[in-house]
Chain A
Amino acid sequence: MENVLVKKDKQLSSGNGVEKPLQKRLEVLKTYKLYIGGKFPRTESGRYYLAENKKGEKLANMCLGSRKDFREAVVAARNAFGDWGSRSAFNRGQILYRIAEMLEGRKAQFIDEIIKQDNTLEEAKLEVDVAIDRLIYYAGWCDKFQQIYSAVNPVASSHFNFSSPEPTGVVSLIAPQNSSLIGMVSVIAPIIAGGNTCIVLPSFSKPLCAVTFAEVLNSSDLPGGVVNIITGKVKELLPYFSDHMDVNAIAYCEKNEEDKKLIQDKASLNMKRTQFYNTKNWLSDQGQSPYFIMDFQEIKTTWHPIENIGGTKGGY
């Protein structure tokens, strides 16, 4: 197939009236913002921090998210939960697949950002590839994990009785801090595949992909509020992620024991479910499993009487 873009480029530079620029074109920089309720606001606090790589290159001014940003995100996540949690499993699978498609299409941008954040080209390529495949993996699970983890229970009384998983609700998530993309995607995917909504605190030191991923989500038919992303400091926001009374569960992907104690202590205020994933290599296959989906599911058991009609002992 002919490459239309290249051909067009040639035309532009060859005598159609447009002059070749004398200087290198000035690049349009991207503003990295928060992602709350399907919109891209700046932090209400007006604060920012400078994201730099190890070489000391300035990458971007990031929003330094606040407690109020988080609380607004919880409202958005709660509002989105009713719709998202009751969508058909098939539809959720379609949307997760669509997220993977969008990510595939913007591969180059993510690779570029990951390289800027101190990784090699090969590492960056692998990370994006695994992230796309992980989304496909969970897209497939959306309408299957229920079948694996449900049960029809043979109760002794005359009742029809079955148990099946349902989403826990609103989840706050401290994403793995050592990667820009794959850690975050690996934890968001099972949470939303199971019908939950979430508020994510991505990597503080490698924050670029989180915001770009928000743009991917926003163009994937994922309803606003299902995933909310707030860049900021773990130490500052952790207490709020842990003690908010309208959050049903919290996931934490770091190793700090004091943080874990703080989370479980504050989570007790409203019996939040806590999940710690601190030993996972998210790039390997151990970073994916339907059990991650089940970590944010509740089992509901339903009973209904069965009428016993006399005189049918011989069967029909």
Chain B
Amino acid sequence: MAKRNNTLKLKFDNARKLAPAPESRSSATIDARYNLFIDGKFTPPASKKYFATTNPATDEKLSEVADANAADVDKAVKAARNAYNKYWKKMPGKERGKYIYRIARMVQERARELAVVETLDGGKPIRESRDFDVPTAANHFFYYAGWADKLPYAFPDRKPTPLGVAAQIIPWNFPLLMASWKIAPALATGNTVVLKPAETTPLTALLLAKIIQEADLPPGVVNIITGAGATGAAMVNHPDVNKIAFTGSTDVGKIIQRAIAGTGKKATLELGGKAANIIFDDAPIDQAVEGVVNGIFFNQGHVCCAGSRLYVQESVMKEVMRKLKDRLETLIVGDPMDKNTDIGAINSKQQYDQINKYIKIGLNEGAEMFQSSCSLPKKGLFIPPTVFTNVAQSSRITQEEIFGPVLTVQTFRTDDEVIEKANNSPYGLSSGVWTDKGSKIFNLTTKLRSGVVWANTFNKFDPTSPFGGYKESGYGREGGLHGLAPYVSLEKFEE
């Protein structure tokens, strides 16, 4: 075997000093205030309360949105029920599908505006919202639109029927994309929707509400309401809701499962993760390092399937660490609106504190920390890419989800050892494996207990590809053919 060159250091110092390249804000107009989108109209909340949404990169207030209370939730659910009975249930699948196609097209048409607002409201790099979030959201509507009149093909020997009203609660890490993951399959299968975006990132969902209004969807088929935890709880507990779809933390997922116990409501829960990313000594190391960076620093690490636990085979540990550290030094942390930015702003003060809490825990546990020496903007919420070595399998930072740009690195010797370590987690959302050997890939992809396995790649998503977890990462799938099942009833016989 050729001896690896372990001495060459990547030199990016001066070559990578880039001039600012800010995206223009002019393509987006943000209203001073947004009301609740219920029954096809924007309606002031019964609560009469509003709360501010800010740009986490600058602390600037962007707008204020309505705080829906239980009465507002009730109104939205009634609108959804009425729309279900009056229009949506009776509408032929092909007509439903055309409405969803319309939404997909309009999202594409307004892609620039949506990307800018997504980045302003959430802090993610404009490159990501422009190239990933918004196009993937549009594609998701496109994919499920086509299913609306083809459902029987997905369920051999069964007649799928819709569940009714779906209450959908989405997180702040991929606001528009998560809205599309929830709304598209629900509509395609004939359900109506009440959706609540996260309280720190409500704006793109409200822009989507405008698109849905323009698409002339029958009033009440999609209702979008804003609020925080109390609003979500009112949705979950509403007696006339048939289906809960939630993406968020495992803690809240468990509360939801408890809240709907014995009610007969169905649930899809897409929860936390602590993905293992495994590099074998025969892996293409440069590609693997790129994959590790994409795995944990994509979207500031605010990704439930982030590759936050790196396992490196002992013999290549030195080389991987050197290349990883060199690569981290080249990452640009800063203004999310700058097209060159790799890592944007942490989404909220609460999350910023949470990540810093875990960094402290790591240091107190005796782990060694490496942070990129990059400069951070003076204002706003930013954390440099962080890597911990000398961590134990039992360390809190290797066991608990941090949801930020923090990576732990451990070594292993044998396949058996790394499979055991990787599976030693209550989570099971995703994992990654890097090796040039095909049979080893399939050994690992078969034995890793997680819903998604990326081999020689990481953090790839597609509307046709099912996503969802094993174990405490939740249940149900979103995306692909398998993403239809959570929204239909398949009872063949009635007694």
Q: Which residues from chain A sit less than 8 Å from chain B, CB to CB?
A: 86, 148, 151, 153-157, 159, 161, 163, 168, 248, 257-258, 260-265, 267-271, 273, 279-281, 286, 289, 291, 298-305
Residue of A nearest to B464 (CB): A153
**Interface-facing stretch out of B22-30, B236-244, B336-344, B469-477:** B469-477
* B97 within 8 A of partner (CB): no
Tell which of A151, A159, A300 touches B460, judged by Cβ atoms closer than 8 Å: A159
Cα A148 to Cα B158 with chains together (Å): 13
Extra 16 A-B pairs, beta carbons < 8 Å, given A163-B482, A301-B480: A86-B447, A153-B462, A155-B462, A161-B462, A163-B466, A261-B261, A263-B261, A267-B257, A270-B471, A271-B257, A273-B475, A291-B490, A298-B451, A298-B470, A300-B453, A302-B455
Tell which of B261, B457, B468, B490 touches A264, judged by Cβ atoms closer than 8 Å: B261
A153-B465, A271-B250 as given contacts; A305 in contact with B262, CB under 8 Å = no
Interchain CB contact under 8 A, A86 and B454: no
A70 to chain B, nearest CB (A): 20
* Chain A residues with CB under 8 A of B446: 86
Q: List 7 A-B contacts (CB under 8 A).
A: A148-B156, A260-B262, A271-B254, A271-B257, A273-B475, A299-B466, A303-B452
* Chain B residues with CB under 8 A of A261: 261-262
Cα A147 to Cα B492 with chains together (Å): 21
Residue of B nearest to A265 (CB): B261
* Chain B residues with CB under 8 A of A148: 156
* Chain A residues with CB under 8 A of B472: 270-271
Residue of B nearest to A149 (CB): B482
Cα A228 to Cα B467 with chains together (Å): 33
Interchain CB contact under 8 A, B139 and A271: no
Interchain CB contact under 8 A, B464 and A271: no
Interchain CB contact under 8 A, A271 and B471: yes
- Counting from the closest, the 8 A-B pairs by CB-CB distance are A261-B262, A264-B261, A268-B257, A155-B462, A265-B261, A286-B493, A153-B464, A268-B258
Interchain CB contact under 8 A, B477 and A157: no
Interchain CB contact under 8 A, A153 and B466: yes
Residue of B nearest to A154 (CB): B464
Interchain CB contact under 8 A, B257 and A157: no
A160 to chain B, nearest CB (A): 9
A74 to chain B, nearest CB (A): 15
**Which of B255, B453, B464: most chain A Cβ within 10 A?**
B464
Interchain CB contact under 8 A, A299 and B457: no
* Chain A residues with CB under 8 A of B462: 153, 155-157, 159, 161
Tell which of B257, B455, B474, B480 touches A163, judged by Cβ atoms closer than 8 Å: B480
A293 to chain B, nearest CB (A): 13
A244 to chain B, nearest CB (A): 14
Interchain CB contact under 8 A, B441 and A271: no
Cα A77 to Cα B473 with chains together (Å): 22
Interchain CB contact under 8 A, A300 and B474: no
Interchain CB contact under 8 A, B250 and A305: no
Cα A21 to Cα B468 with chains together (Å): 70
Interchain CB contact under 8 A, B257 and A264: yes
Residue of B nearest to A271 (CB): B472
Tell which of A151, A156, A265, A281 touches B258, judged by Cβ atoms closer than 8 Å: A265
B144 to chain A, nearest CB (A): 14
Interface 0/1 of B201-222, CB less than 8 Å to A: 0000000000000000000000
B362 to chain A, nearest CB (A): 26
Cα A80 to Cα B257 with chains together (Å): 29
Interchain CB contact under 8 A, A305 and B257: no
A156-B462, A264-B260 as given contacts; A299 in contact with B482, CB under 8 Å = yes
* Chain B residues with CB under 8 A of A151: 466, 480-482
Residue of B nearest to A276 (CB): B264
Within 8 A of A (CB), among B358-399: none
Interchain CB contact under 8 A, B257 and A281: no
Cα A261 to Cα B460 with chains together (Å): 38
Interchain CB contact under 8 A, B471 and A305: no
Tell which of B139, B271, B450, B495 touches A300, judged by Cβ atoms closer than 8 Å: B450
Cα A153 to Cα B262 with chains together (Å): 36
Interface 0/1 of B285-311, CB less than 8 Å to A: 000000000000000000000000000
* B249 within 8 A of partner (CB): no
B49 to chain A, nearest CB (A): 31
Interchain CB contact under 8 A, B457 and A301: no
* B426 within 8 A of partner (CB): yes
* B63 within 8 A of partner (CB): no
Interchain CB contact under 8 A, A161 and B262: no
* Chain A residues with CB under 8 A of B108: none
